[in-house]
Amino acid sequence: MYDVAIIGAGVVGGMTARALSKYKLKICILEKENDVAMGATKANSAIVHAGFDAKEGSLKARLNVRGAEMMPTVCRELGVKYQNNGSLVVGFNEEDRAIINDLLARGKANGVAGLEILEQDALKRLEPNISGEAICALHAPTGSIVCPYDLTVAAIGNAMDNGAQLKRNFAVCRIESTENGYLLSSQTDSVEARFVINCAGVYSDAVANMVGDTSFRVHPRKGEYILLDKECGTLVSHTIFQTPSKMGKGILISPTVDGNLLLGPTSVDGEDKENKATTQEGFADIIEKAQKSIGAVPLGKTITSFCGLRAVGSTGDFIITSPKKGFINAAGIESPGLSASPAIAEYITQMLSQQGLTLTEKESYNPIRTSSHAFREMSLEEKNRLIKENPAYGRIICRCEGVTEGEILDALRRNPKATDLDGVKRRTRAQMGRCQGGFCSPYIIELLARELGVPYERVTKSGGASFINVAQTKGGQ
Q: Going residue by residue from 221 to 250, which x/- string records binding to other proteins, judged by CB under 8 A?
A: -----xx-----------------------
Residue closer to other proteins by CB (options 253, 303) is 303
Least distance from other proteins to the Cβ atom of residue 454, Å: 13
Q: Which is nearer to other proteins, 101 or 305 (CB)?
A: 305
282 interacts with other proteins by CB under 8 A: yes
Q: Report DSSP state, residue 318.
A: -
Q: How many CB atoms lie within 10 A of CB 184?
A: 25
Per-residue interface string for the shown chain with other proteins, residues 326-365, x marking contact by CB under 8 A: ----------------------------------------
76 binds other proteins (CB under 8 A): no
> According to the binding rule CB under 8 A, does residue 279 interact with other proteins?
yes
* Distance separating alpha carbons of residues 91 and 197, to the nearest angstrom: 41
Is 278 among the residues that bind other proteins (CB under 8 A)?
yes
Task: Lay out the site mask for other proteins across 129-168 (x = CB under 8 A, - = otherwise).
Answer: ----------------------------------------
Residue 120: half-sphere exposure toward Cβ, Cα within 13 Å:
8
DSSP character string of 170-239: ----EEEE-SSSEEEE-SS-EEEEEEEEE--GGGHHHHHHTTT--S--EEEEEEEEEEE-GGGTTS-SSE
- As measured in angstroms, the least distance from the Cβ of 198 to other proteins is 24
CB of 351 to other proteins, least distance (A): 36
Distance CA 32, CA 399 (A): 33
DSSP secondary structure string for all residues of 12-61: HHHHHHHHHTTBS--EEEE-SSSSSS-STTTSS--EE--S-SSPTTSHHH
- Measured from the CB of residue 385, what is the shortest distance to other proteins in angstroms? 9
Q: Which is nearer to other proteins, 296 or 471 (CB)?
A: 471
Q: What residues from 381 to 440 belong to the interface with other proteins (CB under 8 A)?
A: 383-384, 387-388, 391-392, 394-396, 399, 402, 404, 434-439
Our CB check for other proteins shows the closer of 100 and 421 to be: 421
* Least Cβ distance, residue 128 to other proteins (angstroms): 22
187 binds other proteins (CB under 8 A): no
Cis check for the bond before 220: say yes or no (omega within 30 of 0): no
Pairing of strands 2-7, 190-198: parallel
User: What pairing do the DSSP bridges indicate for beta strands 261-264 and 252-255?
Assistant: antiparallel
Of 327, 345, 311, the C-alpha closest to 200 is 311
Distances in Å between the alpha carbon of 240 and those of 85, 143, 215, 293, 299?
A: 11, 10, 36, 8, 18
**SS3 (DSSP) at 3:** strand
Q: Which is nearer to other proteins, 453 or 476 (CB)?
A: 476
Is-catalytic flag, 49?
yes
Task: Choose between 357 and 435: whose C-beta lies nearer to other proteins.
Answer: 435
The reply to whether 476 sits near other proteins by the rule CB under 8 A is: yes
Which is catalytic among the residues 49, 219, 238, 373?
49
Among 120, 177, 302, 355, binds other proteins (CB under 8 A): 302
User: How many CB atoms sit inside 10 A of residue 368's CB?
Assistant: 11
Strands 144-146, 136-140: parallel, antiparallel or unpaired by DSSP?
unpaired
Using CA atoms, how far residue 402 sits from 29, 178, 302, 406, 428, in Å, is 33, 52, 19, 12, 10
Residues 361, 203: Cα–Cα separation, whole Å = 32
Task: Please choose, out of 112-120, 214-222, 280-288, 326-334, the segment that lies near other proteins by the rule CB under 8 A.
Answer: 280-288
120 binds other proteins (CB under 8 A): no
**List of residues contacting other proteins (CB under 8 A):** 226-227, 274, 276-280, 282-283, 299-300, 302-306, 380, 383-384, 387-388, 391-392, 394-396, 399, 402, 404, 434-439, 441-442, 446, 456-457, 460-477
Q: Which residues are catalytic?
A: 49
